[in-house]
């Protein structure tokens, strides 16, 4: 695997902020961020080898691609942490609109 | 009357064993560390040396600190038992420290393996693209 393509929600300010943060991180696998064509869809990651990760798994795979967070992704994916990590990322996705508003993050598409 | 002999034998043997274990660790740990630091030999050598210094300090500290005895070593049997008891403890502490160092080496190395490009993500894909 050489590249991951991340489809994010362009109507979500938090997602756009995370995309900018991702661009600044040192990576072990190339990461390309594209706005999802279906706004409101949950985050999806597709690798150049054809694997798809959706929802909470997608967050962990994106962390895995980052040099400084690979150990964290492995920790979060360990059997004892995974249910909690999934629940946390699911909540993050669910309330991303509310969070964007309260943090004052502007989306790129209204 | 055997006290001086016992102390000297204890110190000489313990220090000799510590030096031997530390050298073994130093010589054989090097390859692990070079692998763990992606072939950066200078960095590996430096970390190796720091680990060995820590190893020496803990072990020599332990053995000097536990030199004292309240027993009157006035017959050979008690003296030999004193030596066996003290040296046995030193060997045990060395063993624990040695395995702890091996654990550290292995952890460094596993971390390095995780960063290789062909490593696999920790979560299963939720699907695959169908190519037609």
Q: What is the pLDDT of residues B46-95, one digit of tens each?
A: 999 998 999 899 989 988 888 888 878 888 888 888 889 989 998 998 89
Q: Which pLDDT does position B131 carry in this prediction?
A: 60
Kindly report, residue by residue over A32-86, the tens digit of the pLDDT: 999 888 767 788 999 998 999 998 899 999 999 998 898 889 899 999 999 999 9
Which residues in chain A have their CB less than 8 angstroms from residue B125's CB?
47, 51-53, 57
pTM for the model stands at: 0.62
Determine, for residues B126 and A2 on separate chains, whether the beta-carbon distance falls below 8 Å.
no
Q: Return d(Cα A24, Cα A27) in angstroms, integer.
A: 9
- Assess A61–B contact: CB distance below 8 Å, yes or no: yes
> For residue B9, which of B69, B95, B93 has the smallest C-alpha distance?
B69
Residue A108 counted as domain residue: no
Residue A53 counted as domain residue: yes
| ipTM score | 0.74
Q: Return d(Cα A74, Cα B123) in angstroms, integer.
A: 9
Which residues in chain B have their CB less than 8 angstroms from residue A48's CB?
none
| Residue ranges per structural domain of chain B | 3-114
Q: Return d(Cα A49, Cα A58) in angstroms, integer.
A: 15
Q: Number of C-alpha atoms within 13 angstroms, CB side, residue A38?
A: 4
Domain that holds residue A75: 3-103
Q: Return d(Cα B23, Cα A7) in angstroms, integer.
A: 53
Residue A46 counted as domain residue: yes
Q: Return d(Cα A90, Cα A67) in angstroms, integer.
A: 24
Determine, for residues A71 and B117 on separate chains, whether the beta-carbon distance falls below 8 Å.
no
Q: How many CB pairs under 8 A join A and B?
A: 53
Q: In what order do the strands lie in the sheet with B127-128?
A: A30-35, A3-8, A44-47, A51-54, B127-128
3-state helix, strand, coil in chain B (%, to 5): 75, 0, 25
Domains of chain A: total: 1
């Amino acid at each position: 695997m050489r590249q991951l393509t991340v489809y994010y929600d362009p109507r979500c300010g938090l997602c756009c902020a995370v995309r900018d943060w991702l661009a600044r991180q040192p990576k072990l696998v190339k990461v390309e961020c594209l706005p999802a064509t279906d706004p409101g869809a949950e985050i999806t990651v597709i690798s150049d080898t054809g694997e798809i990760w959706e929802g909470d798994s997608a967050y962990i795979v994106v962390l895995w691609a980052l040099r400084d967070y690979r150990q964290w992704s492995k920790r979060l994916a360990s059997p004892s942490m995974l249910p909690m990590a999934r629940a946390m990322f699911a909540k993050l996705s669910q309330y991303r609109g509310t969070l964007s508003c309260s943090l004052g993050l502007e989306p790129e598409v209204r | 009357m055997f006290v001086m002999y016992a102390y000297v034998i204890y110190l000489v043997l313990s220090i000799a064993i510590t030096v031997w274990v530390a050298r073994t660790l130093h010589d054989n740990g090097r390859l692990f560390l070079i692998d763990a630091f992606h072939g950066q030999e200078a960095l590996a050598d430096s970390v190796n040396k720091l680990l060995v210094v820590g190893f020496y300090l803990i072990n020599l500290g332990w053995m000097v600190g536990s030199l004292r005895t309240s027993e009157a070593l006035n017959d050979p049997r008690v003296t030999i038992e004193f030596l066996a008891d003290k040296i046995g403890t030193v060997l045990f502490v060395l063993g624990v420290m040695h395995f702890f160092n091996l654990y550290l080496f292995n952890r460094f190395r596993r971390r390095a393996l995780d960063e290789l490009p062909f490593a696999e993500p920790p979560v299963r894909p939720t699907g695959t693209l169908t190519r037609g």
